[in-house]
Amino acid sequence: MSIRVQSDRFDPGAELNAFSAGVAGAGAVVSFSGLVRDVDGGLQAMEIEHYPGMTEKALARIRDEALARWALADVLIIHRYGAMAPGEVIMMVATASRHRKDAFEAADFLMDYLKSRAPFWKKERSSSGADWVTARDADEDALKRW
Amino acid sequence: MQVLYFAWVRERIGLPREDVQSDAATVAELVEELRAREERYAAAFSDLSALRVALDQELSEFTDSLDGVREVAFFPPMTGG
């Protein structure tokens, strides 16, 4: 039931293998990785700010909610902050369960809540300047389906 | 109490945190006090619908009481994931 908030890069493949090895009896593992996206080719860097203390509490609460709602053998959440380049991994979640439906739904739930209930803020730096990423109404609306 | 600012709120006000002496009963009253200070605060708090608040690291409402609260944080809607 690991939660990590870090500035260091990590290898999502290695993390997934280690996670899977620890839940060998579970039967199903789902993972999601979020990368720094370069939509129009002009992104130079992304900077992510967070609220130390509240971040860890918010992530633990989201994880606990997932554990209460689905039959999960384990949950992993890793989220970076600081500066990163296009293509770098920002975060990942992994869920393990006996049957795939629990793992899929829980991972989807974790991502919806991570997007708008964990105190991270993204800033994109491009040749035209730096702008804070605006939260989308669709992200807030996505919470209503849970 | 400690008042913290994140993302563009921090940039607009020009500092990440400060100690604020206030008798404000609610977050909304605290916001009014801060707005009255200087233009940079008025600018940061001009549209509360664009802001979120956390009290002692729990997401809260602007109408909530500040009774016993030690840490207030103002920030834009979160963009994690």
Name the band, by pLDDT with cuts 50, 70 and 90, for residue A100: very high
Using CB atoms within 10 Å of the CB of residue A53, give its burial: 0 to 12 exposed, 13 to 18 middle, 19+ buried: middle
Interface size between A and B, measured as CB pairs under 8 A:
71
φ/ψ (deg, to 5) at A21 = -65, -30
Nearest residue of B to residue A139, measured between CA atoms:
B79
Superfamily of domain B2-75: Beta-grasp domain (3.10.20.30)
DSSP structure class, residue B74? E
Measure the CA–CA gap between B64 and B58, rounded to whole angstroms. Answer: 12
φ/ψ (deg, to 5) at A51 = -115, 90
Q: Which of B62, B38, B42, B52 is nearest to B7 (CA)?
A: B52
ipTM of the complex: 0.95
Measure the CA–CA gap between B12 and B7, rounded to whole angstroms. Answer: 9
Domains and CATH numbers, chain A: 2-130 (3.90.1170.40)
The number of residues in chain A equals 146
Verify whether the Cβ–Cβ distance B80 to A79 is below 8 Å.
yes
Q: For B20-73, how does the pLDDT look when each residue is reduced to its tens digit (9 = 90+)?
A: 999 999 999 999 999 999 999 999 999 999 999 999 999 999 999 999 999 999
Q: What pLDDT sits at residue B41? A: 98
pLDDT surpasses 90 at A40: no
With contacts defined as CB-CB under 8 Å, which chain A residues touch B58?
Answer: 54, 57
Averaged pLDDT for residues A66-95: 97
- A45, amino acid identity: A
Verify whether the Cβ–Cβ distance A114 to B76 is below 8 Å.
no
User: Which of A54, A112, A125, A143 is the mutation pick for testing B, counting most B CBs within 10 A?
Assistant: A54
Q: What pLDDT sits at residue B35? A: 97
Verify whether the Cβ–Cβ distance B78 to A121 is below 8 Å.
yes
Verify whether the Cβ–Cβ distance A54 to B6 is below 8 Å.
no
- The chain A residues in contact with chain B (CB within 8 A) are 34, 49, 51, 53-54, 57-58, 79, 90-91, 111, 114-123, 132-135, 140
pLDDT averaged over chain A?
95
The number of residues in chain B equals 81
Q: For A122-131, how does the pLDDT look when each residue is reduced to its tens digit (9 = 90+)?
A: 999 998 899 9
Q: Which of B41, B78, B51 is nearest to A50 (CA)?
A: B78
What lies within 8 Å, CB to CB, of A9 at 6+ separation is A80, A84, A88, A89
Q: What pLDDT sits at residue A42? A: 85
- B56, amino acid identity: D
Measure the CA–CA gap between A69 and A39, rounded to whole angstroms. Answer: 35
Contact B6, B73 (CB under 8 A): yes
Q: What is the DSSP string of B38-64?
A: -HHHHHHTS-GGG-EEEETTEEE-TTS
Name the band, by pLDDT with cuts 50, 70 and 90, for residue A46: very high
Closest partner residue to B81 among A53, A114, A140, by Cβ? A114
